């Protein structure tokens, strides 16, 4: 009798495993359990930003510096006839600056209210990251603006919160605020 019970349990376990293995790939997890990100480099560190907020990635060929703006605003650039501001997150987050080079790209972020570019030292590509793999940022990263971080992956990639960056009033340069700072 005891042997029959063990055989039944074993049979149940094997059937459950067989159903799980027979399932179509992608059927096991819904798309909501992954975050599609664009992976890039800032100051020798790997960062990611949700691709849903990325309009396009454009090489930084020319830009025009603007007088009287905060140091984190690199300037403006022309992308397909549209003038966009370019923000240098290294300066915004107080990261080491290694200067501009041939590999610099502008990641154009966009939501319903705002559109601007962020400077990246290099683009590594796109990938899917399981949401469960994103951990809370450690206290040591808090200095770079923890309010702009979604978290960190096991490979030490820092995931930025594009929505919070796009919605932040500190990034919006208001002419009247700049004039009052300069007086």
Please check whether residue 95 lies inside any domain of the structure. Answer: yes
- The domain of 178 spans 31-182
Q: What is the CATH number of the domain that holds 160?
A: 2.40.50.180
Among the listed residues 49, 157, 60, 66, the one whose alpha carbon sits nearest the alpha carbon of residue 110: 49
Please check whether residue 18 lies inside any domain of the structure. Answer: no
For the residues 160-172, what does the mean pLDDT come to?
Answer: 85
Please check whether residue 118 lies inside any domain of the structure. Answer: yes
Q: Helical H runs in the chain? A: 2-22, 89-92, 162-167, 175-182
Please check whether residue 17 lies inside any domain of the structure. Answer: no
Question: Domain total for the chain?
Answer: 1
Please check whether residue 167 lies inside any domain of the structure. Answer: yes
Please check whether residue 159 lies inside any domain of the structure. Answer: yes
The model scores a pTM over 0.85: no
Residue pLDDT, tens place only, 109-159: 999 889 999 999 999 999 999 999 999 876 655 455 678 889 999 898 999
Please provide the average confidence, as pLDDT, over all residues in the chain. Answer: 79
For residue 43, count CB atoms less than 10 angstroms from its CB and return exposed for 0-12, middle for 13-18, buried for 19 or more: middle
Write down the pLDDT at residue 4.
Answer: 54
Is the confidence at residue 97, as pLDDT, over 80? Answer: no
Please check whether residue 60 lies inside any domain of the structure. Answer: yes
Instruction: State how far the Cα of 47 lies from the Cα of 158, in Å rounded to an integer.
Output: 5
């Amino acid at each position: 009798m005891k042997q029959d019970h063990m055989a039944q349990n074993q049979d149940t376990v094997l059937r459950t495993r067989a159903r799980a293995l027979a399932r179509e790939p992608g059927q096991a997890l819904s798309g909501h359990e992954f975050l599609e990100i664009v992976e890039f480099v800032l100051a020798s560190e790997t960062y990611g930003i949700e691709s849903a907020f990325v309009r396009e990635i454009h090489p930084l060929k020319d830009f025009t510096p603007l007088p009287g703006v905060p140091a984190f605003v690199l300037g403006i650039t022309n992308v397909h006839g549209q003038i966009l501001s370019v923000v240098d997150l290294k300066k915004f987050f107080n990261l080491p600056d290694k200067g501009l080079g041939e590999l610099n790209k502008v990641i154009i972020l966009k939501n319903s209210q705002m559109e601007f570019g962020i400077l990246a030292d290099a683009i590594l590509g796109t990938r899917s990251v399981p949401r469960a793999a994103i951990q809370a940022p450690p206290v040591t990263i808090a200095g770079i603006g923890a309010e702009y971080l979604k978290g960190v992956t096991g490979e030490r990639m820092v995931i930025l919160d594009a929505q919070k960056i796009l919605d932040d009033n500190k990034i919006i340069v208001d002419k009247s605020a700049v004039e009052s700072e300069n007086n």
